[in-house]
Amino acid sequence: MAQWQTGIVQDDSSHHIFLEFAVRGAPTALPGRALAMASVPDGAQVLAFGAGLSRSLAEVPAPEGIADFTAIEGAEGLSAPATQRDLFIWLQGERRDELFARALAWRDALIEVADLATEEHGFRFRDSRDLTGFVDGSANPKGDAKAAAACIGEGRQAGGSYVLAQRWVHNLAAFHALPISDQERVIGRTKAESIELTGDAMLPNSHVSRTDIKRGGQAVKIYRRSAPVGGVRDAGLYFLAFSADLNRFRWLLESMYGLRDPNFRDRLLSYSKPVSGSFFYAPPADAMLAAFKN
């Protein structure tokens, strides 16, 4: 398999910057090749393209399945908005100063062709927990299974990855007002040890139940790389996930929003809501570099 962008599977960074750009026109190449090639001190970067940009870039073969994120209208009036952007740059590492310097450099390099539409700064919260206090990504694939879940395995897009990016805002006051035992039933795991609930304790509308799904008898696996973001007034999560198949994101969201079983929707949606949504394609490393000119 071609070499995927290594930042996809570089776990447990202390700091993150998520940048989403709106690109003007339909460029066949982007400025910033030196930045695309340069390593990030004590960190990594991942670059990905929306459907329209993927098709306009001359040297990057666009996968047939790439598409824009479309809004979801779910059960009980719950919804997930679409705010599709063209270019996604994710910076992660141990030095916030270097990540910020790289973000500024990307803004300046792209200023003639793109506008910065979304900027979020993420961080590791305690022992890699979400701001709800629960460990994030407990069910992530391990070892070699990471690449199988996150990256296309064969064909001319081998090593590429589909990306889902959503900014979520938590109602932490409401969630933390619940007894811990009820918080655990909302999530489907224990809070302290992150052990999956079993038996009657695992409710069909828990977050684990609504995202632990199968298609054709096979578990639907994605690779999550989310991070807490925001300030006191808008604390939440930048949900970031990678998959070898774009449809996996749709299946999971449909399950969460009660579109596959109208009797059950994810109870976590009572305490957290998305305010953005985009799909991207992160090509393998060599194809990613070919998208940029000097």
Name the token pair of 152: 């296309």
3-state secondary structure of 53: helix
Residue 162 sits at φ, ψ, to 5 deg, of -80, 145
Catalytic residue among 86, 130, 136, 266: 136
Helix H or strand E encompassing 167? strand 161-170
The CA-atom distances, in angstroms, between 3 and each of 53, 62, 132, 159 are 22, 17, 35, 6
Determine the Cα–Cα distance for residues 13 and 224; give it in Å rounded to an integer: 13
* CB neighbourhood size of 45 (10 A): 25
**Residues recorded for the chain:** 294
In this structure, are residues 136 and 129 in contact, taking their beta carbons and an 8 Å threshold? Answer: yes
DSSP string for 40-83? PTTEEEEEEE-HHHHHH-TTSPPPTT------EE-GGG-EE---
Catalytic site residue 136? yes
Instruction: Identify which of 227, 222, 228, 236 has the alpha carbon closest to the alpha carbon of residue 275.
Output: 236
Number of H helices, E strands in the chain: 9, 16
By annotation, the residues acting in catalysis are: 136
